[in-house]
Amino acid sequence: MADSATLPVSVGRYLIHRLRQLGLGHVFGIPGDYVLGFMRQLEESPLQLVGTTNELCAGYAADAYARVTGLGALCVTYAVGGLSAANAVACAYAEKSPLVVISGAPGVRERRKRSQVHHMVGAHDAQRRAFEPITAAAVTIEDPLTAFREIDRALATCLARKQPVYIELPRDRVDMEGQAGHVPESGSPASDPDELAEAVGETASMLAAARAPIIIAGIEVHRFGLTGALMSFAERHGIPVCSTLLGKSVVSEKHPLYAGTYVGALSRAELVEFVEGSDCVLSLGAPITDTDTGIFTTRLSPERTVHATSQTVRIRHHAFEEVRLDDFLAGLAVQSVPVFHRPLPPKDNPLEQPWMPRAGAPLTTGRLFHKVNSVLSKGLSVVADPGDAMFGSIDLSVHEGADFLATAFYATLGWAVPAAIGAQVARGKVRPLVLVGDGAFQMTGTELSTAVRLGLDPIVVVLNNRGYLTERFILEGKFNDIHNWNYHQMPALLGGGLGVLAGTEDEFCKALDHAIATPGQFHLIEARLEKMDASPALRRLGERLAAEAKG
Amino acid sequence: MADSATLPVSVGRYLIHRLRQLGLGHVFGIPGDYVLGFMRQLEESPLQLVGTTNELCAGYAADAYARVTGLGALCVTYAVGGLSAANAVACAYAEKSPLVVISGAPGVRERRKRSQVHHMVGAHDAQRRAFEPITAAAVTIEDPLTAFREIDRALATCLARKQPVYIELPRDRVDMEGQAGHVPESGSPASDPDELAEAVGETASMLAAARAPIIIAGIEVHRFGLTGALMSFAERHGIPVCSTLLGKSVVSEKHPLYAGTYVGALSRAELVEFVEGSDCVLSLGAPITDTDTGIFTTRLSPERTVHATSQTVRIRHHAFEEVRLDDFLAGLAVQSVPVFHRPLPPKDNPLEQPWMPRAGAPLTTGRLFHKVNSVLSKGLSVVADPGDAMFGSIDLSVHEGADFLATAFYATLGWAVPAAIGAQVARGKVRPLVLVGDGAFQMTGTELSTAVRLGLDPIVVVLNNRGYLTERFILEGKFNDIHNWNYHQMPALLGGGLGVLAGTEDEFCKALDHAIATPGQFHLIEARLEKMDASPALRRLGERLAAEAKG
């Protein structure tokens, strides 16, 4: 931490300084007059400002960056900018992505003097109020005397809760001096030692009495940086680990203890049996959601379950409210727990069978995922958009931790392409392989523009079935059909990249192999699929969702 | 109004019935599982559902549709849908566009039973709370017994305030029966008769004592359907009329009493002198904003001004709070007011000079607008995106009322292309001519997809200067530059339309004439301009905004 005597004195520069201190390297955003002064400061700082085509895409990119690096930032102008990114911020909130939203705003002097300035939505605080329900903290920096403390508090909340915070910077505050001699605050609430000891003790007793325990690793394990701690615990005691869908790739899927992605009835039958046959389930960092439970089809008796998240540790039918997830894991690590030798279920993942193209055979979703699985390797991450691009990915075998990115819970269409930009800005050496439906691609696909500008080289597979496929399985109607594009023509518009149309297995195989072999530019493969072709997982899910919709 | 005995009984069908009753013909939106049941009802109704590429574009289209027809509607799914459109709704709020936002949502039963279902942002009411600051009313239909009344109230608020309202439909309420025998409520608050009489009397006295009055017509004149009343008053008394920028085309610019678009120091000098030299200014339906006042450069003494809006009637230094704009105009109409014979300022609008292309001469912004003005005619509306596309339009001579559409106050980039779709869905016979900068076009330009699908034929002129031009005039930085696209290649991607690149005057002339001559498909003309080329109005505005930013 910098000596307080050397802290930058202006509000804007202090914010930049603190973000740098927390390890941030890039900020995503779009300029606008109320934020230009701060953008100038960004440009003069070591932080890199990454422009995108619009604010929603900037938000998605910053969200993905936050998921990969542990902190992301979005910088936009007032109202027209911030409100355009609201959905990306809500996504980060729902899926616990630590994103700092910085919005320019009319100056405090302007707010006092005159009632209506451009971009205003009735009242001056409208944007901040709109962000309150979708952020963990929303502040407007009005008084330079308290500015540094407010910035500290917002950033601490972002990191403690792994959720977005909103910082509104009136443009006449950016260059004002904050409190001299300010010492940055940090730290987050500690566990209650008695609650912690009791929760850890009970868990250890349950494990000691168990014969076939299993660990379910959820997204928070990654968000709170606990993958290493969790895996050494699992290794020391020989406990198999599976992940949730939102938590897919939280642990490496090539690890010998990795059993699979458990999504209730959407998973393969042998995995369901393995997990639900366990006599002690340690669910770590996995909030209970409809998608992660395969629409509430997981069958895990509370009597034999410890369910620990960043909010509570729940054992059987009681809860501990003041136990941190990291303390809980650290506590378990020093307990006396047996070593288990439970064999994993047979890994007869059909996607792991060798794949050869059948010349001229029309491409199907199943075969597409099979081929995709065959090319996955270190240095390639999967970014899946909601819909079959994601459900079909359940059984993909991802190599490294954090190499699968998807909004498996918030499920916002159009996330994947901009997210891939953010992910590759964060980790240039890891190339994103994007799986995205045609409906979703129409929402944000032109963000590949930024790949061309920055020289990024994602591989984008557009699953083109001319409409919103998931919804067709729930309730069919004309509204699920969309206008067909020549997606593979995108490079002509953007002046970069390579586009290919693939309607058969051999065309797809050739295109994907070529994309892998020739990095340095984006590749877009338009995969033409039958209108109702779908992965088995999506068929099962669509039926569940349709039943749910009927109540 | 339908006999209450025949009212549809289910909540969803009642909402559709009321929207039809209010004259609505189309609903813009994107499906999602929580709204599919209502979409099915829409599909079975006489309302036409118009799909777009994403929710923000649907929102912009519905906003423009509302501006043109007097009511618009947007139908989206929960959170991922609604929050993606938040900026369009805020735009409608800021510029008084009556837009009904209908959002699907998890069922009330689901809300009670389980905590986390997909698309949720922490709490079930997060989306409604986020919409509260950007709508005139935000309701969730939970109880079928009060559902019809809540729908009535929301719709009445939308129409009375000409601002968006938000109606959240939990999916298990859509098919539920509402209260039998319900009689739809309507009506909005009346004027206070004493306040009205006094305000009208004072205004008539000021006019009676005046020698050179002028009327400034603002956007609310159009929104509240008062153009006819205003123009017959002006005609009867020979009072010249000018419009604001946001109100441009509220009155026909070909009318003999029309003096010009008055935007303070941004207007032509002779118009400024004419307006500011008036001894009685009747400002009607024109809220005071920074853009409409040319960044507060209008010089209108309160001593000789009547400023009537939908909120208040302000005369000299006092205000009437309970006077409706329509009542005020109707009251004035029956007062004894003299007939004036003030000559209009010379209409030496440089854009009205004949235009001939100079072969091979590089295209400039000034020459582009001159050519555009020369092709304007009945049956062609101008839809201008913020930036120079809008400021350069100030002196365009628009033929019919309501034929100029722009977010002149909220100023949200990327509005124009989707808005043109909405406007042409509303009025198929009026062809939109879209003026849009390259930065804005990158945000939403692929919405031309919907033009292809529906057979619409907007003419889109992309002013390509490779960046955010307005901001360059305020504060220059790398962040104002964007990646260059081959905009004219858009038809190859979308599988329809015609694209042309124009770098010289003759190329632009030929392309625009061809577009006019060959309707039936969209035409996109990419106009290559110098990086810092700008209309004189933008130069003046940029300087004012830069001064404002410095405080």
Q: How confident is the model at residue B3 (pLDDT cuts 50, 70, 90)?
A: very low
pLDDT digits (tens, 9 = 90+) for B508-531: 999 999 999 999 999 999 999 999
Q: Does B288 touch chain A (CB under 8 A)?
A: yes
Sign of the dihedral through C-alpha A128, A129, A134, A139: positive
In angstroms, the CA A411 to CA A382 distance is: 16
pTM for the model stands at 0.96
For residues B148 and A470, which has the higher predicted lDDT (pLDDT)?
B148
> In the prediction, which pLDDT does A551 show?
62
Closest residue in B to A29 (Cα) is B479
Q: Are residues A92 and A415 in contact, defined by beta-carbon separation less than 8 angstroms?
A: no
> In the prediction, which pLDDT does A2 show?
44
How far is CA B95 from each of CA B92, B98, B128, B135, B413, rounded to the nearest angstrom?
5, 9, 21, 12, 15
Q: Does residue B406 have a pLDDT over 50? A: yes
B522-533 burial, b at 16+ Cβ within 10 Å, e below that, comes to bbbbbbbbeeeb
pLDDT digits (tens, 9 = 90+) for B14-29: 999 999 999 999 999 9
In a mutational test of the A interface, the residue from B103, B116, B312 whose CB has the highest number of chain A CBs within 10 Å is B116
Q: Does A218 touch chain B (CB under 8 A)?
A: no
Q: What value does the CA radius of gyration of chain B take, rounded to a whole number of Å?
A: 24
Which residues are A73's β-sheet partners? A100
Q: How confident is the model at residue A1 (pLDDT cuts 50, 70, 90)?
A: very low
* Residues B484-494, mean pLDDT to the nearest whole number: 98
**Could you give the domains of chain B?**
11-170 (3.40.50.970), 193-333 (3.40.50.1220), 350-544 (3.40.50.970)
Q: Does residue B220 have a pLDDT over 70? A: yes
Q: Are residues A74 and A81 in contact, defined by beta-carbon separation less than 8 angstroms?
A: no
In angstroms, the CA B473 to CA B469 distance is: 7
Question: By CB neighbour count within 10 A (0-12 exposed, 13-18 middle, 19+ buried), where does B369 fall?
Answer: buried
Interface A-B: count of C-beta contacts within 8 A: 277
Q: How confident is the model at residue A365 (pLDDT cuts 50, 70, 90)?
A: very high
* Residues A82-109, mean pLDDT to the nearest whole number: 97
Percent pLDDT > 70 in chain B is 97
In angstroms, the CA A267 to CA A260 distance is: 9
In angstroms, the CA B429 to CA B425 distance is: 9
CB contact under 8 A, B54 and A129: no
**Chain A nearest C-alpha distance from B54 (Å):** 5
Residue A285 DSSP one-character state: S
Question: By CB neighbour count within 10 A (0-12 exposed, 13-18 middle, 19+ buried), where does A460 fall?
Answer: buried
H/E element holding A333? helix A325-333
CB contact under 8 A, B129 and A126: no
> In the prediction, which pLDDT does A511 show?
98
Query: Shortest CA distance to B242 belongs to which of B218, B273, B210, B266?
Result: B218
pLDDT digits (tens, 9 = 90+) for A303-348: 999 999 999 999 999 999 999 999 999 999 999 999 998 888 877 7
In angstroms, the CA B243 to CA B231 distance is: 12
Closest residue in B to A129 (Cα) is B133
Q: Does residue A356 have a pLDDT over 50? A: yes
> In the prediction, which pLDDT does B223 show?
94
Weakest mean pLDDT among A156-165, A346-355, A492-501, B189-198: A346-355
In angstroms, the CA B458 to CA B427 distance is: 12
pLDDT digits (tens, 9 = 90+) for A189-228: 899 999 999 999 999 999 999 999 999 999 999 999 999 9
In angstroms, the CA B391 to CA B261 distance is: 11
CB contact under 8 A, B126 and A120: no
Note which residues in 144-203 of chain B have CB less than 8 A from chain A: 171-172
* Residues A241-269, mean pLDDT to the nearest whole number: 91
In angstroms, the CA A453 to CA B108 distance is: 47
> In the prediction, which pLDDT does B114 show?
60
What is the ipTM, given to two decimal places? 0.95
In angstroms, the CA B176 to CA B248 distance is: 45
How many CA atoms lie within 13 Å of B445's alpha carbon, on the beta-carbon side?
34
Task: Kindly list the residues from chain B whose CB atom is less than 8 angstroms away from the CB atom of residue A126.
Answer: 90, 133-134
Weakest mean pLDDT among B91-105, B208-222, B331-345: B331-345
In a mutational test of the B interface, the residue from A27, A87, A544 whose CB has the highest number of chain B CBs within 10 Å is A87
pLDDT digits (tens, 9 = 90+) for B130-152: 999 999 999 999 999 999 999 99
Which of A31, A296, A481 is opposite residue B480, by nearest beta carbon?
A: A31
CB contact under 8 A, B487 and A479: no
Q: Does B45 touch chain A (CB under 8 A)?
A: no
Q: Which two tokens stand for residue A506?
A: 């051999």
Q: Does residue B396 have a pLDDT over 50? A: yes
> In the prediction, which pLDDT does A3 show?
46
Which residues are B315's β-sheet partners? B306, B318
CB contact under 8 A, A54 and B117: no
Query: Shortest CA distance to B501 belongs to which of A490, A493, A445?
Result: A493
* Residues B80-108, mean pLDDT to the nearest whole number: 98
Q: Are residues A458 and A447 in contact, defined by beta-carbon separation less than 8 angstroms?
A: no
Weakest mean pLDDT among B110-124, B267-281, B298-312: B110-124
Q: Does A117 touch chain B (CB under 8 A)?
A: yes
CB contact under 8 A, A39 and B90: no
State residue A120 phi and psi, 5-degree precision: -70, 140
Q: Are residues B126 and A132 in contact, defined by beta-carbon separation less than 8 angstroms?
A: no
